[in-house]
Amino acid sequence: MRHQEPSVSWDEARELAHKTGQDNRARPASMDLAHCVGLTLAHDVAAEFAVPHYASSAMDGWAIAGAPPWELALPGTALSPGHATPVVTGGLIPAGTEAVLRSEYGEMESVAEQTLLHRLQDVPATEPPPGRHIRPAGEEAVAGEQIIAAGTKLTPAHIAIAAVCGHDQLPVYPRPSAALLLTGDEVVTSGVPAPGQVRDTFGPTLPAIIHVLGGEASSSRRLPDDFEATRRAILECGGDVVVTTGGTGHSRADHLRRVLAELQAEVLAPSIRMRPGHPALMARLADGRTLIGLPGNPLAAMMALLTLGGPLLAGMTGRQLPDTGRVAAGARFAPLDGRDRLIPYAMTGVGAVPAGHVGSAMMRGLANADGVIVVPPEGAAVGQELRTLPLPW
């Protein structure tokens, strides 16, 4: 640990994590469309051709030219005035077409050796007006037009329009890999814990949360509360990001800070002026990987992961610092000496109020919360606008 910095504010921690992520941005890669959902687009994407690339029908019916009655022309031939030809939705509009008459608006009649199309008597004589039910070429996009901007987190709808516009692959930022190191001699992974033991909260949940934040858990390893085991695991675990749980305090049983000093890591955020989650830290390891140390209490760890992990992964994948929302306080919040408070909240008719069970070791409140409010150190009055940290799930 080359130097020690003072605690950072909650806003500073988020900005620092995002900047650290930008400094370690993943290299873009071209991936098949089927694998791009949830990833961030690295470069603007344009239409390879006009969409639609031909004039097409928006309805089942007949392409028509001139006034009725219309003589049916051979499919695929250009229309001259007084002629029509059947078309289906999405079908090619023949040259010379003036409009499309919907199938329910017309009827055909055989006269001698001709087949004529008539407009039904109860259909207005103005139907169809010129251009009706014709999708002109390039209506959705012209060739070369930008259809998706760089920095977009891709949804199935983005994949659909990329395919429509001629793309088989997209340039995206791959998900950074996260190696998880879970500490705690008192933690059990199944069954009913005995007195002095606690159930594992992080093993089943951290991979899922990291995934929705933009990363991918590459490994998960459980460690004893031991200096050498922690040191060796950090050196060997790989990953673009290392996420540890527990051991971030300063007691004799907490080893992470001493391990980082031994490894000559640069501590970027020694702690954060927030509650819960104050002991969380972020460091740059000697090999360039970023380490996020989460406190051992579950809610504190989740608040720290949203504070540091979300912005870090956003920066690494070319996204902006996640926005905060706004909501009115539905209760009074007392001041808290220099620390922001992150409180899972429930919405009521008067505004946001703390959800039940929001102690630093509790998860029940977060499970039922509408989001997380950020209460400034000076507190807040009823009706005051507060920032919110949207939940990523």
> What's the CA gap between 37 and 23, in Å, rounded?
24
Same domain, 192 and 305: yes
User: Under a CB-based contact definition with an 8 Å cutoff, are residues 108 and 115 in contact?
Assistant: yes
Which helix (H) or strand (E) element contains residue 303?
helix 298-304
> What's the CA gap between 108 and 21, in Å, rounded?
67
Amino acid at 322: P
Is 264 among the domain residues?
yes
Give pTM, 2 decimals.
0.83
Is 2 among the domain residues?
no
Give the CATH number of the domain where residue 150 resides. 3.90.105.10
Is 127 among the domain residues?
yes
pLDDT tens digits, one per residue of 285-315 = 999 999 999 999 999 999 999 999 999 999 9
- Domain containing 41: what range? 30-51+140-173
> What's the CA gap between 234 and 242, in Å, rounded?
7
The predicted pLDDT at position 330 comes to 97
pLDDT tens digits, one per residue of 30-63 = 999 999 999 999 999 999 999 999 999 999 999 9
Give the model's confidence band at 6: pLDDT under 50 very low, under 70 low, under 90 confident, else very high.
confident
Beta-carbon count within 10 A of 378 CB: 10
Per the model's pLDDT, the better-predicted residue between 365 and 157 turns out to be 157
Per the model's pLDDT, the better-predicted residue between 185 and 324 turns out to be 324
Give the model's confidence band at 5: pLDDT under 50 very low, under 70 low, under 90 confident, else very high.
low
Could you give the number of structural domains in the chain? 4
> What's the CA gap between 24 and 312, in Å, rounded?
9
Is 155 among the domain residues?
yes
Min mean pLDDT across 70-74, 79-83, 182-186, 218-222 is at 182-186
Give the model's confidence band at 2: pLDDT under 50 very low, under 70 low, under 90 confident, else very high.
very low
The predicted pLDDT at position 14 comes to 98
Instruction: Indicate the residue among 173, 195, 229 that finishes a domain.
Output: 173
The predicted pLDDT at position 63 comes to 97
Is the torsion defined by CA of 143, 144, 145, 147 positive or negative?
positive
What is the widest separation between alpha-carbon atoms in the chain? 103
Give the model's confidence band at 1: pLDDT under 50 very low, under 70 low, under 90 confident, else very high.
very low
User: Under a CB-based contact definition with an 8 Å cutoff, are residues 219 and 242 in contact?
Assistant: no
Amino acid at 75: P
pLDDT tens digits, one per residue of 215-239 = 999 999 999 989 999 999 999 999 9
Kindly tell me if the per-residue pLDDT of 253 is higher than 90: no
Q: Classify strands 29-32 and 340-348 as parallel, antiparallel or unpaired.
A: unpaired
Kindly tell me if the per-residue pLDDT of 385 is higher than 80: yes
